[in-house]
Amino acid sequence: MKDIKIALVGQPNVGKSMLVNSIANSHLHVGNFSGVTVDKTEVLFDHEGYHFTVVDLPGTYAFTDYTIEERVTHQYLTSGEYDLIINVMDSTNLVKNLQLTSELMSMGKNVVIALNMSDEAKKEGIDIDALRMSKLLGIPCIKVSAITKEGMGELLDALIATKELSTQNSKLVFSEPTEEEILNIEKYLAKHKHQSINSHRNIAINLLKNDKATYKLLHSDPIWTELQSIIVKGSKHIELHHNTDDVREAFAEEYLSFNKGVVEEVLTQVPSRKESSITTKIDNILINPIVGIPIFLFLMWGLFQLTFTIGSIPMDWIDGFFGWLGDTVGPLIKNDDLRSLVVDGIIAGVGAVLLFVPNIVILFIGIALLESTGYMSRVAFLLDGFFHKFGLHGQSFIPLVSGFGCSIPAYMSARILKNDRDRLLTLFIIGFMSCGAKLPVYVLLIGAFLPPEMAGNALFAIYISGAVLGLIAAKILKLTAFKGPEEPFVMEMPKYRLPSLKLVWHTVFTKTMMYVKKAGTFIAAASILIWFLSNYPHNATIDKEYESKIENAQSADMKKELANEMQSEHLEQSYLGTIGKFSEPFFAPLGFDWKMSVALQTGLAAKEVVVSTLGVLYAVGDDVDEQSNSLIGAISKNIPFASAVSFLVVIMIYLPCLAASIVFTREAGGVKYFVYLFVFTSSVAYGLGFIAYHIALRFSS
């Protein structure tokens, strides 16, 4: 079995992810590079005796290294740890896509071009002569459609053929003065017998257009000083010819005229219905200055209503299932301690977390739809003016909305913001957008205190007030810690597309699996730990004391009451009780009892753990009759309304989870930022929790 490692490169939204899904077909194995990173995704599959590894790189318009995503892609491509490149293109916009191809052509790696979206091109009356294009560029060009799967076989054949091939030669042709300068440098390199993997012509092009990676490569070479003066002179000449002082602008213009020439030869456009008329029509409504924003708010509201109403149906089944599982497994285990570990620790803890899978799936579907239809950019366009007032950026909207799903991809998608200050600011307030893992806590508390018909609205209000708090926090930070010039706002408004079920399913599935996996590993472990801390040390004298009391009790009710009392006494003198008691005075101004204090602290590990902690803590002190079986019942019985409100406020604002904190630290670029974030969010959470508690006290009394 031979290995082929392929880098998948293309501009954003050309269908890279979709294509990789289609090529790999059923033997798909998607895995992330390193732990939580979603930088580059690797897909592995086998075909005709070859073992393929495809690396799906973040989309880039050009190698200007303007955004971090562009930097990631550029770095990977210059690292050379792959055999060849698939350059994915949108067939309906060749000229623009070829700009990136031109840059790829001087990298010295074999390229195969996938002319994707050929189904859409056909509809728009565009016909591309792929054979002629292959000849002109010296690169195999294959018409494909990731949706209809047309051309997949040919693409794979071309990949194998190109892998076996020696190096391709770039057929880029430049204007006369540029060619002259390229030749000049080429000759110089040849004269000095310069050894390199890349061709001399490519090196010359890269040097002239100021490519940093190539500079670095030659920097320590003895010929460098002499070469440098030739480069500087050459670049000046080219700049003069283009009447600019920016050689990269000159090269962009060179590429453009070459690409226009190519497209003229290979593309025939049959006049057809106005191609983008549908997008224009939809835009007339969705980004209408008057109704645009109300429509957006309505859609968001709808999403939260759905999350609650549809989500609650399978929740009952899941709840029932874990209740049944506990009842069935329990009697099979003879050892008391072990049974308690399995039933009260693992099953109760993991069950409490899995209970919220339906809600999370719906939320993820909503966000995936926003992203894949092209609506997300419209919202960024609509809201930029508004966001700008708070010192944010229209594109901050994208990480902020992703923050409603999970903070980790949100932190990572903040990379689209180039300016470090803007990015940091966005990173700091992503936590205010309640992530999917906080949802279970909200659902639990809302369910415990409000009638079902209010639940959707309450949830919407929580999310909105989180977002508003975030904006206020942004403004304050912008005026104090993050003063300075802003980042420009330039963004593509992609065509509207019907969401591909497969792609939505794929993203929702992977994200949900991540959640479930967390429940199975991390949270199961945390549940065991919490179970242990809440059951030990076991004080036998309490048992003795109550045993006789219970025996002597008159009625069944008395017996039950005494049993509960005994269990809560056990809990109080357990390790967890000790921790909770120790921190209770600190949280007392917020109205938390020690159980809530503990849940809050375990929640630093992950928000799902808050629910499982409450599950373990309250399940232990609870009876097993039908009504009080569910955690929601236990909460409404044991937690006063005002305390629940302040608990909710604190959950809304404080740190999302350990994994997110790690990603934050990495994305922000230092531990000191994490310390700032911790102090900032914790003090805001504490302050607002305190205020909320006292307001709620007024209302409930």
Partner 1 sequence: MKTLSECKIDHKVKVLKLNASKELKQRLISFGIMRGTTAEILKYAPGRSTMEIKVGKMKIALRTQEANLIEVETI
Interface residues with partner 1 (CB under 8 A) are 61-62, 64, 66, 92-93, 95-96, 99, 246, 248-249, 252-253, 256, 275-276, 279, 283, 287, 289-290, 292-293, 377, 380-382, 384-386, 388, 394, 488-494
Q: How far is the CB of 258 from partner 1 (least distance, A)?
A: 14
Q: Which of 388, 497, 506, 666 binds ligand GDP (CB under 6 A)?
A: 497
Q: Which of 503, 526, 631, 668 binds ligand GDP (CB under 6 A)?
A: 503
Residue 283 exposure: Cα atoms within 13 Å on the Cβ side = 15
CB of 429 closer than 8 Å to CB of 468: no
Q: How far apart are alpha carbons 552 and 558 in whole angstroms?
A: 10
- Among the listed ranges 13-21, 241-249, 337-345, 532-540, the one in contact with Mg ion (CB under 5 A) is 13-21
Q: Which of 57, 117, 227, 348 binds ligand GDP (CB under 6 A)?
A: 117
Site residues for ligand GDP, window 44-103 (CB under 6 A)?
Answer: 59
C-beta of 16 vs 438, nearer to ligand GDP: 16
C-beta of 373 vs 630, nearer to partner 1: 373
CB of 664 closer than 8 Å to CB of 415: no
Q: Which does 289 bind (CB under 5 to 8 A by kind): partner 1, Mg ion, ligand GDP, none?
A: partner 1
C-beta of 17 vs 170, nearer to Mg ion: 17
Q: Tokens 């003229």 sit at which residue?
A: 264
Q: What is the DSSP letter of 25?
A: T
Q: How far apart are alpha carbons 566 and 680 in whole angstroms?
A: 41
CB of 411 closer than 8 Å to CB of 664: yes
With CB atoms as reference, the residue minimizing the distance to ligand GDP is 15
CB of 425 closer than 8 Å to CB of 477: yes
Q: How far is the CB of 9 from partner 1 (least distance, A)?
A: 14
To 5 degrees, how large is the angle CA 463–CA 456–CA 375? 60
Q: How far is the CB of 15 from ligand GDP (least distance, A)?
A: 3
- For residue 666, count CB atoms less than 10 angstroms from its CB and return exposed for 0-12, middle for 13-18, buried for 19 or more: middle
Q: How far is the CB of 64 from ligand GDP (least distance, A)?
A: 18
Number of other CB atoms surrounding residue 538 within 10 Å:
11
Q: How far apart are alpha carbons 54 and 489 in whole angstroms?
A: 32
C-beta of 70 vs 319, nearer to partner 1: 70
For the packed helices 420-430 and 671-700, what is the interaxial angle rounded to 10 degrees? Answer: 40
C-beta of 232 vs 454, nearer to partner 1: 232
Give yes or no for residue 15 binding ligand GDP (CB under 6 A): yes
Q: Which does 465 bind (CB under 5 to 8 A by kind): ligand GDP, partner 1, Mg ion, none?
A: none
Q: Which does 690 bind (CB under 5 to 8 A by kind): partner 1, Mg ion, ligand GDP, none?
A: none
Give yes or no for residue 145 binding ligand GDP (CB under 6 A): yes
Q: Which of 142, 147, 427, 645 binds ligand GDP (CB under 6 A)?
A: 147
Nearest CA-CA partner of 113 in 260, 200, 255, 11: 11
Q: How far is the CB of 131 from partner 1 (least distance, A)?
A: 24
Q: Which of 87, 259, 372, 630 binds ligand GDP (CB under 6 A)?
A: 372
- Among the listed ranges 10-18, 73-81, 98-106, 263-271, the one in contact with Mg ion (CB under 5 A) is 10-18
H helical segments located in 7-129: 16-24, 68-79, 94-105, 118-123
Q: How far is the CB of 437 from partner 1 (least distance, A)?
A: 32
Q: Which does 13 bind (CB under 5 to 8 A by kind): ligand GDP, partner 1, Mg ion, none?
A: ligand GDP
Nearest CA-CA partner of 54 in 75, 33, 34: 33
Q: How far is the CB of 202 from partner 1 (least distance, A)?
A: 21
Q: How far apart are alpha carbons 63 and 205 in whole angstroms?
A: 14
Q: Which of 4, 10, 14, 17 binds Mg ion (CB under 5 A)?
A: 17
Nearest CA-CA partner of 41 in 372, 409, 363: 409
With CB atoms as reference, the residue minimizing the distance to Mg ion is 17
- Among the listed ranges 12-20, 171-179, 611-619, 635-643, the one in contact with Mg ion (CB under 5 A) is 12-20
Q: Which does 372 bind (CB under 5 to 8 A by kind): ligand GDP, Mg ion, partner 1, none?
A: ligand GDP
C-beta of 59 vs 470, nearer to ligand GDP: 59
C-beta of 95 vs 310, nearer to ligand GDP: 95
Beta strand pairing status for 110-116 and 126-128?
A: unpaired
H helical segments located in 243-396: 247-266, 277-286, 292-309, 312-329, 336-340, 348-354, 357-373, 375-389
Q: Which does 394 bind (CB under 5 to 8 A by kind): partner 1, Mg ion, ligand GDP, none?
A: partner 1
Q: How far is the CB of 493 from partner 1 (least distance, A)?
A: 4
CB of 382 closer than 8 Å to CB of 293: yes
CB of 69 closer than 8 Å to CB of 12: no
Letter for the amino acid at 449?
F
Q: How far is the CB of 663 from Mg ion (least distance, A)?
A: 19
C-beta of 12 vs 153, nearer to partner 1: 12
CB of 199 closer than 8 Å to CB of 210: no
Letter for the amino acid at 55?
V
C-beta of 198 vs 259, nearer to partner 1: 259
Computed from CA positions of residues 494, 497, 499, 503, in that sequence, does the dihedral angle turn out positive or negative? negative
Q: Tokens 């906080």 sit at which residue?
A: 438
Token digits for 535? 């059951």
Q: How far is the CB of 522 from Mg ion (least distance, A)?
A: 27
- Among the listed ranges 112-120, 388-396, 530-538, 591-599, the one in contact with ligand GDP (CB under 6 A) is 112-120
Q: Which does 61 bind (CB under 5 to 8 A by kind): partner 1, ligand GDP, Mg ion, none?
A: partner 1
Residue 207 exposure: Cα atoms within 13 Å on the Cβ side = 28
When computed from its CA atoms, the radius of gyration of the chain, rounded to whole angstroms, is 30
Give every CB contact of residue 407 below 8 A, 6+ residues apart in sequence. 430, 431, 433, 435, 656, 657, 660, 663, 664
Footprint on this chain of Mg ion (rule: CB under 5 A): 16-17
Footprint on this chain of ligand GDP (rule: CB under 6 A): 10, 12-18, 59, 116-117, 119-120, 145-147, 372, 497, 500, 503
